[in-house]
Structures are given as C-alpha cells and as structure tokens.
A = this chain, B = another copy of it.
C-alpha cells in the first residue's frame, strides 16, 4: 500500500501504515453489490510497490489477465498521486484519467487517507471500488474462480488458511511492514527495534524454509507471494535505503535460494521491475534520500542462477499448471530476470 503522498505520511515521528479506507469486496455472488464480472474492473498498480505487486503476481498465477485488466502507474509519483505518464498522452487508456486520485475523488470527494495502490476501479463509473491491499489478493484467489485460467493454482487452500494467516501476519508485522518502520524511523530506538525485528523474523523464516520448499504445505501460496515481494526488494532498496543492513539477501544461504526459486517460477519473477522499484524509492522518499540519486547497484545477475530447491520436492502449482507467457503489453524489461 504505497500512498501518493508518501512524504507527508512518512513525516510522522513514528511510521504508521494507515488502514485502507475503501474496503468493498468483489465477490462471486455479488453479496456486497460488487459481483465478479469479466472486464468490469481495472486493477491499478505500481510495479514499485510491494503491496501492489502481490496482486500483480496473484493475477498472473491465476490467469486473470483477460478478466481483470491492469493499469501500471509511473513509479515516481508526486503530490497529485500516482500518474499514468507511462501511457500515451499521460492518461490511462481505459479509465481516461491522468492520476489515480481522480478515481478516488469520484468515489468520495475529500476522502481521508492517501491515494494508494493497489486499487480496483469500476470501469463503467470510473469510481474506486477498493484499496484494501490485504483483501485484494485473497479475493481474486477465492472469489474470482469463475474467471481463473484452466490449471490455476489454489493460492489460499481452505484446509491451510489458519496457518497461512498466521504466517502472513508475522511476516507482515516484522518484515513486510518492518522494513518501512526501519526505513522511515526518525528516532534511533524505533529504527533499531524495527531493524532487529526484520532480521529476527527473517532468521526464523530461514530456519523454517531450510528443509521445505514453501512456507505452508508443499505448494506456492499467498504466504510465499507476500514474503517474496519483500525479499525481491531487499538488496535493491531495503538494505541501503531503509538501512536494513545486517546482511544482504544474497548472504543468507536459505532465503537467497528460496527467493531465486520464486523469482524463476513463471508468474512471479516475470512481474518484477527493478527499475521501477529503485526509482520509486530513491526518487520519491526525499526525506531519507534528499539528492534523489538512484544507485547503480546491486548486481542483479545472480537472480537467474540455479537454485536447486526442486530437490526439496514441493509442487509449485499443486494440481495445477504454470501460467503461460506474459501477455505482450505487460512485459517488463528483462534486467535481472531469467532469459
């Protein structure tokens, strides 16, 4: 959940992630007034944002590209919120808007809270439906099944939800959000607690993953996706920019191969845009990087190296199959990704 007014939000003494204001659910039976419907909604993301990237990966793995279109915002937003400057004329071609804030304003003028991604917009009305980043990956897995591709994996298997929820909650608190609390801390104690918490949790997770391929069960689930979107950003931005620098991901023998395994799994690494990730963090967070200089490193070539995690067994897609290639209009420049 990266807000459009990042710097304002980050100006607090203690970094607090604000809750999502719009939490309408899109469901199979439309019980909340929002039925799943092919082509009806548009998923607005930034490839820079770890929270939005969860939704991008789920959508790819589930094969929702045809049923749920996506708008990719420019990674560098300003106080007018996420802009569609990557599109011709600077407008999203489906919604016809220049800034994501326009869809928020149509939903509720003067809404509180920032303009964040991921967001789902109702195409006919141009109004925001939800920016609830937690639900935004669970509902596609469980409610959008009518639009899933053949062979879509079960990313949130009913029999394992309690365990998945528990793992995700720990990872959210200490890792997904912990890196932000470390990075935006303005007091030493706050930084040190967050940073120590990041590495304490990562070491526990590494212990868990040493002998098993995935976090829960023997298939890829939402829990892995949510850990992955933080791990893939770790050395590129969190290590230096957010000062989470006890070690680099590449130095952790378990997590580095685990992350490479996920990166090389179709539907996951092929959504990652290191350029967007780095430019967003280093150019937007001027409170911690006043020069706006974007580092040249790290060397990303290692992401393509063999990981040998298949020796641990596991069935990435369970009873399903890998997704097909990325649709032509959604391909990311190949830096660091497997050929």
Question: A residues near B, CB below 8 A?
Answer: 185-186, 188, 191-192, 195-196, 239-241, 243-248, 250-251, 287-291, 293-299
Q: A248-B248, A250-B251, A251-B250 are in contact. Are A243 and B293 (CB under 8 A)?
A: yes
Task: Supply 4 further A-B pairs (C-beta < 8 A) apart from A191-B296, A195-B295, A243-B293.
Answer: A186-B293, A244-B297, A247-B297, A247-B299
Chain copies in the assembled complex: 2
Bound: A273/B185 CA distance, A: 25
Q: How distant is the Cα of A159 from the Cα of B248 in the complex, in angstroms?
A: 43
Q: How far is the CB of A100 from chain B (nearest CB, A)?
A: 27
A-B contact pairs, 20 of them (CB 8 A): A186-B291, A186-B293, A191-B293, A191-B296, A192-B296, A195-B295, A195-B297, A239-B240, A240-B245, A243-B295, A243-B296, A244-B297, A246-B298, A246-B299, A247-B298, A247-B299, A248-B248, A250-B251, A288-B291, A290-B290
- Chain A interface, >50% SS class: loop
Residues of chain B with a CB closer than 8 A to A248's CB:
248, 251
Select A290's contact among B246, B288, B295, B297, beta carbons within 8 Å: B288
Contact (A245, B291) CB under 8 Å given A240-B240, A251-B250: no
Residues of B within 8 A of A293 (CB): 185-186, 188, 191, 243
Shortest 9 CB-CB contacts between residues of A and residues of B? A245-B297, A240-B240, A246-B297, A243-B295, A191-B293, A245-B295, A195-B296, A186-B291, A246-B299
